Amino acid sequence: MRGFGFPALPVIAALIAGSLLSGPAFCTTLRFVTTTESVDAESVAERVSRLPDRDRAFAAIREEGGRVAGAIRSIVAPHDPQAREIWSARGVTARLSNDQVDLLSDEWPSLRFETIDSTAVPVSGNVDDTASHLTPPAWNHVMCGSWDLSRLRNLTGKGVMVAVIGPDVPFDHPAIAERIIAQRTFGGAPARGTEDLMLLHPLGLLAGKTDDKTIGTAPDVSIALATLPRGKVAADDLLSAIQWALEPIEGTRPVAVLLAVDFQTAAPRAIRDALAACKMAGILPILPAGNTPSRITGMAALPDVLTIGALDQWKTRAAFSGCGPAFVDGYQLRKPDYMAPGLAVTGPAAGNTYRQGSGTLQAAAHFAGIWAQIRQSKPDTEIETILTTLAITSRDLGPTGPDNDYGNGLADPLAMLQYLENPPSPPDASGSLPVPPL
């Protein structure tokens, strides 16, 4: 029976243990391996204490997760040399047989094993008529608030990066030609199709721009794009993509990660932990509510992500937009969190054309854009402060108060910024707000 003895793991002992425990690797299953042991918090705090405040959370997650993942990999590698370190979830992915799991558990009781054989799939969209021309400001830009932020605050996402994780389908189009500054493919051989509503269309709604037209909500935002196989996406490939999205690119970390794939069943715990790490590091995970109106599941159901449903131009929930409540480990959560335009919105399409498309992914792309605009204005404000203020200032839709059809309603990003910059006066001793002079 062994313990890790963090922060320094006896690697030689681990390798000896591996040689003693090695056996046939038949009938292996993809697992996520983590531990209940913790790293010395004081040593981590000391390592990150000299960093700027905005970088400390990410650095602490990277430091602690890296130590844990590296230690576990040294134990697991003799059984699976291809084991991947996933520091964002404090563990590794590895293919292990049941016998190997039993032997490792006996030798290292603090290890925990999760089978992650579930797969994610692209979030689909609905095709509408091809758009022959663009006339800004489009109704969707006005409704989601991006037009006001651009017109009144000159906020276009400039200097801000958003990560997007989606299927490996073509995304070449002049409207986003200069917006993608980094791209990486995860998973096996690509199975590319032509479904532009799965990636190209929402990319344009996020960041599209032509010489004389604005298509996206944040036309100057930079995109870090991670692509995955178009069909079923293995959980370890998705974990690697999420972790890549956390890392700085040219010294800049994304302010949000928009996921265009999701699980049709409960998300693996390792995925939950990685997305929680994103939010803790100040990177907001944004998920479409899904296009099945009777439920919200997968990553979209998780409490650490912002789940976005779709509206038509009359601010009514689209018939296909996923509704809550969501359930995670038996607990009920109100979902979606917010609504955004997602019915018959115009964006780029295959063949350098434009078309109208519908879906909650399109709605989530709008929200990712206004989040980039907000972060351009408030780069150092705590993420929870922004989310709390966004909820206070949102426009209620549907039944009075937050609900499982519309969530908190429609975000009002301009009102949110005004509230942050000019908070209401605190109540006086009697508990009443001061009366303004006549």
pLDDT tier, 17 (very low <50, low <70, confident <90, very high otherwise): very low
215 in Cβ contact with 134 (< 8 Å): yes
| Eight-state DSSP code of residue 379 | T
List pLDDT tens digits, range 355-404. 899 999 999 999 999 999 999 999 999 999 999 999 999 999 999 999 99
Question: Any bridge partners for residue 306, and if so which?
Answer: 286
- For the chain, what is the largest distance between any 2 Cα atoms, rounded to a whole number of angstroms? 84
Q: What pLDDT sits at residue 280? A: 95
Higher pLDDT, 331 or 42: 331
**Per-residue pLDDT, 61:** 92
Instruction: Give residue 434's pLDDT.
Output: 56
Identify the CA nearest to 75 among candidates 39, 36, 33, 40: 33
For the chain, what percent of residues have pLDDT higher than 70?
86
- pLDDT, residue 65, reads 94
Weakest-pLDDT range from 58-72, 144-158, 204-218: 204-218
Q: What is the pLDDT of residue 214?
A: 67
Taking only the tens place, the pLDDT of each residue in 80-107 is 999 999 999 999 999 999 999 999 999 9
Residue 279 has pLDDT above 50, yes or no: yes
The pLDDT value given to residue 11: 37
d(CA 96, CA 33): 10
Q: What local confidence, expressed as pLDDT, does residue 360 receive?
A: 97
Confidence (pLDDT) at 191: 56
Q: Kindly report the pTM of this predicted structure.
A: 0.89
Residue with tokens 């006549």: 438
| CATH topology classification for 120-421 | Rossmann fold (3.40.50)
Cβ distance 270 to 176 under 8 Å?
A: no
> What pLDDT digit, counting tens, does each position of 243-271 carry?
999 998 888 899 999 999 999 999 999 99
Orientation of helix 235-246 relative to helix 53-76, angle to 10°: 150
| Summary mean pLDDT of the chain | 88
Show me where the domains of the chain are located: 11-115, 120-421
**pLDDT surpassing 60 at residue 25:** no
Compute the average pLDDT of residues 341-354.
91
List pLDDT tens digits, range 107-146.
Answer: 999 999 999 999 999 887 776 654 545 555 689 999 999 9
| C-alpha closest to that of 363 among 217, 222, 163 | 217
